[in-house]
A and B are shown apart, each in its own frame.
Chain A
Amino acid sequence: MSSSHTGFLSRLFLLLITCVPVFAAAAQDVVLGASVQLIGPVANTGRYYRDSYQFAIDKINAAGGVKIAGQSHKLVLKLYDNQSDVNLSMRQYTQLVTEDKVNLLLGPFASNFALADSAISEKYKVPMVQGGGASDQIFARKFQYIFGTLAPASNYFGSTISMLKLLKPAPQSVALLYADDAFDVSVAEGTRPMLKQAGLNIVLDERYSTNATDFNSLLSQIKSRNADVVLVAGHETEILNFVRQAKSLEVAPKMYSFTVGVPSEDFRKALGKDANYAFGMTPWLPSAELKDRWFGDAEQFAKAYKAKFGYDPDYHAASGAADVETLVQAMEDAGSLDPQKVRDALARIKFESLYGPIAFNANGQIELPQMVIQVQGDNVVEIYGLKGLIKQPKYPMPAWNQR
């Protein structure tokens, strides 16, 4: 049994190896390998990465590909579906490196995948640029071959807190609420020291269970402790419930801000007029100010993307496209395909992309500040960004019966 089982597998590998010459035939092609979630629980977001990788590669190829030492090379994407299975994704990255001999790696979606898969890129010393994992843990291991373009979880409220200092009357007290999943706990852990540093008094610091529907007791605590600012790190349905219940209990702090929901149209549709005044954040908006070598700017990228795939790109898609551009830029900077040289080029990379300025800190993580946004009437307005205040925030929020 066992021998036939290994025989079967080696035949399987022979089959796969014979597939590789399809890529090897066009000798000069640069192959980028990735394993993403195309089915399974997180496939919804996983597919953004497939689409954005391919989209960026097609665009770069149309512009002549990547130019290394005076020679143009076409880019090819070698993509596997890891079916939302971490073990399988590790195996597929090993396969990409050892059997398919890809040149460089693009990342999977989600932090736990990036954590496991970064160990593979480290082991084989092939750089991986990933735009799907925001956890600070990925970069705390001092790995040399992992680079990330998703804004760090710990800094989600960073820009909001710097904005608080500019508000009048100045807020004094803060309530921090967060869901009990890994990401939101990291957000809260990063937020606490920043609040203390800003001299704000944390009057409520509560964790609630993911998918909670009842926020009545938390809201009455916010009211009784007189919190000026409410910061919530959670998921969209929780935040919808939070706002609806705040209205029915007439809890109106001077402002509230949410990690998710505010940028999306669904959020505003679901809440109608009650969405007004809500603050939120996004690392990326398809703005014409973000210039890009291949797409022109982020606005054109978003338009072309929607035309091709039929849905609006969010920051995941922008981050994925930027990952491809980052690898291309690094190869051109290094003037080589050598993984070691590309890694060194990645470590000191600095360029403008549709996603924002790309540069990595010593751990390989991008330092991309979140843009503060607010729902004002029917629109989402950029309030505070890299260069300070953009538009005047509506602050303080009026009481519910005075709207």
Chain B
Amino acid sequence: MKMWKIGLVLAALAVLAGVPWYGSDVLIQFGINALLLAVLAQGWNIIGGYTGYASFGNSVFYGLGGYGVAIAMVQWQLPFAVGMGFGVVLAVVFAVLLGIPVLRLKGHYFAIATLALSQVMTAIVSNVGIAGQNIGLVLPPLNNDPLFYELSLGLLTIATLTIWGMTRSRFGFGLIAIRENEEGAAVMGVNTTLYKVMAFALSGIFSALAGGIHAYWVTFLDPASAFDISLNVKMIIMAVFGGPGTVLGPIVGALTLSTISEFLSSEVTSIAGLFFGLVIVVAVVLMPRGLADMLRRMRKMGWGYFIENIRAHRL
């Protein structure tokens, strides 16, 4: 990365980190939400963007992270940090146990297998006594939005640095190789099963941490809100809109879409409901490789970029 690019990213980070000092309470709350969504999009980026396995079940990790924190804090009276750790353990165990059978499936079959995960987890957790069954758990309130904001920003930074490091490691190249040609990767000596499960687990860890922060912040968790299906769709749209398989794309996607969605929902509420649907259609037809790719190639090709995409996909 060139020096000016690093400088730009650091400047953006400084601006974001300063929000609690100059932003309003509403902006901080919006920021927490947008940053957590960005973490989810980044988490999805690892398994969906780099490895090419479109997981529709990442909200399960988010829910497990939330339950880790809620169970530790409410049932065992442990500190928040321990709960986050517990949530991560839950997510990793789940990723490994489930990843080994499910990651053998490819393409649509993998997507379908993960699609049902959220509902299955809702049904399971509804019967677990320690998780409060259907009634859910109420966490002790902590009125410190700036803290939650900085935690979310910190988590996003760590997730992004991890992905950045990953892209220059053997592991990252292995994942890209799997995405491009799994058999080829295996022939080249990539342990595909291990790599895929690790990618799934890594994606799960970040999602779980985001879920943990969210649970403590909202102070209430029940199966329906923890394993929210719409979250799956949102994180994928954000990652794909921004640019899957790029380091900064999912963040750009998450922050832009959150902002537009927020604006629409306070100004023209009836359109807001349609918004994510429209984004999917437009993004898939005109810019299937995301904002990052569009920005890069628009400079060379101009408006021809969109026509090229439409033609390339024979729509």
A interface, CB within 8 angstroms of B: 1-3, 5-6, 8-10, 12-13, 16, 38-40, 80-81, 83, 85-88, 90-92, 94-95, 98-99, 112, 115-116, 119, 122-123, 135, 137, 140-141, 180-182, 185-186, 209
CB of A180 within 8 A of CB of B134, answer yes
A9 engages B265 (CB within 8 Å): no
A94 to B263, CA, bound (A): 16
Task: Pick the 4 closest A-B CB pairs, nearest first.
Answer: A2-B12, A115-B220, A81-B269, A123-B143
Cross-interface CB contact of A94 among B29, B252, B265, cutoff 8 Å: B29
Instruction: Assess the B24–A119 pair: CB atoms within 8 A.
Output: no
Q: Which of B123, B255, B272 contacts A83 (CB 8 A)?
A: B272
A1-B252, A90-B218, A141-B138 are contacts. A39–B273 as well, Cβ < 8 Å?
yes
Tell me the dominant secondary structure on chain B's binding face.
helix
Interface residues of B, Cβ cutoff 8 Å to A: 11-13, 15-16, 19, 23-27, 29-30, 33, 123, 126, 133-136, 138, 141, 143, 218-220, 222, 224-225, 252, 255-256, 259, 262-263, 265-266, 269-270, 272-273
Contact in complex: A112, B225 (CB < 8 Å) = yes
Picked from A86, A91, A141, A180, the residue with its CB within 8 Å of the CB of B225 is A86
- State whether B138 touches A140 (Cβ < 8 A): yes
Contact B134 A95 (CB under 8 A): no
Contact residues in B for A181 (Cβ distance below 8 Å): 134
Contacts of A116 in B (CB 8 A): 218-220
A sample of 10 inter-chain contacts (CB < 8 A) reads A2-B13, A8-B259, A10-B27, A12-B266, A13-B24, A80-B266, A87-B33, A116-B218, A135-B135, A137-B135
Contact of A9 among B13, B30, B224 (CB under 8 A): B30
For B136, the closest partner residue in chain A by CB is A182
For the complex, give the distance between the alpha carbons of A2 and B142 in Å. Answer: 28
Residues of A within 8 A of B33 (CB): 87, 91
CB distance from A158 to the nearest CB of B (A): 19
CB distance from A121 to the nearest CB of B (A): 11
Q: Cβ of B15: which chain A residues have Cβ within 8 Å of it? A: 2-3, 6
State which of B26, B219, B256, B270 has its C-beta within 8 Å of the C-beta of A99.
Answer: B26
A98 to B123, CA, bound (A): 39
Bound-complex Cα distance A140 to B272 (A): 35
A6 to B13, CA, bound (A): 12
